[in-house]
Amino acid sequence: MERILIVEDDEKIARVLQLELEFADYDVAIAYTGKEALQKFGEQDFDLILLDVMLPELNGLEVLRRIRIKDKAIKVIMLTARDAVTDKVSGLDSGANDYVTKPFEIEELLARIRVHLKAIQPQVVPVAHPLIYRNIRVDTNTREVYRDGTLINLTPKEYELLVYLLKNKNQALEREQIISKVWEYDYQGDTNVVDVYIRHLRKKLDKSKPSLISSVRGYGYMIKD
């Protein structure tokens, strides 16, 4: 659960923001002065700060300046009733990530919060395991195929056909089925196109007999152990 610090001296506004953010499943803390904001920032970890500009004790720009000395990455959205361009520029120049002018629609503020929090989420890259069969290795990340460690140049369709056969190893695959999956449409023409591509693959991949790709007479092809 992401944690948000609301820094707002108007208790009614702070309470409304707290209720809306908690309803959106955020963990929320409130500071009513600039000094209290710095104290809570130093004591707890937050993912984002909603920071009012006009604050007692220390104004929002000074709070932001001190926060940025310690943390360059935390997301900060400035909140203010002032809408002058110079005020917005001052906030952004001080290190704010965004600027929202009061009065604002809560839906817009929530949308901006989601955007900034999404930006700090680690991007999960799915791990693609290589496909290995005998002396053939297929790197599905780079779409590269190696035979005995030597790169083999395949056309896009040759590559997709090989991957489909490898992923369905030990299954007899009908020509129409191969066309449907590899060419990704209902092919109405001659299924000999599969035979042509299999012949190309065999020429590029096979160093000796028997072939890596077995023929299933009267049906199609397969790769089998």
Residue 8 and residue 105 in one domain: yes
Q: Which of 92, 119, 146 finishes a domain?
A: 119
Query: Cβ neighbours of residue 200 under 8 Å, at least 6 residues apart?
Result: 155, 158
In a domain, 79, yes or no: yes
At what angle are helices 60-70 and 85-93 packed, to 10 degrees? 20
Question: Is 103 a member of any domain?
Answer: yes
CATH number at residue 67: 3.40.50.2300
Residues 90 and 141 in one domain: no
User: Using the 8-state DSSP alphabet, how is residue 224 labeled?
Assistant: -
Confidence (pLDDT) at 102: 83
Tell whether 124 is covered by a domain.
no
Domain boundary among 62, 94, 119: 119
Q: How far apart are CA 8 and CA 15, in angstroms?
A: 9
110 & 190 share domain: no
**For the chain, what is the domain count?**
2
Asked if the structure places residue 67 within a domain, the reply is yes
Q: How many CB atoms lie within 10 A of CB 186?
A: 8
**Amino acid residing at 138:** V
Where do the DSSP E strands lie in the chain? Answer: 3-7, 27-31, 48-52, 75-80, 98-101, 131-133, 136-139, 144-147, 150-152, 173-174, 214-216, 220-222
Out of 119, 139, 173, a domain closes at 119
- Answer whether residue 197 is part of any domain: yes
The structure's pTM equals: 0.54
Contact 162, 169 (CB under 8 A): no
> Taking the CB of residue 11, how many other CB atoms lie within 10 A of it?
10
List the structure tokens of 126: 């799915």
User: Is pLDDT of 96 > 80?
Assistant: yes
* Residue 35 DSSP SS3: helix
pLDDT, one tens digit per residue, over 72-93 is: 889 999 988 766 666 666 777 7
Residue 176 lies in a domain: yes
Q: Confidence band (pLDDT; 50, 70, 90) for 141?
A: confident
Query: Domain containing 43: what range?
Result: 3-119
Give the pLDDT band (50/70/90) at residue 7.
very high
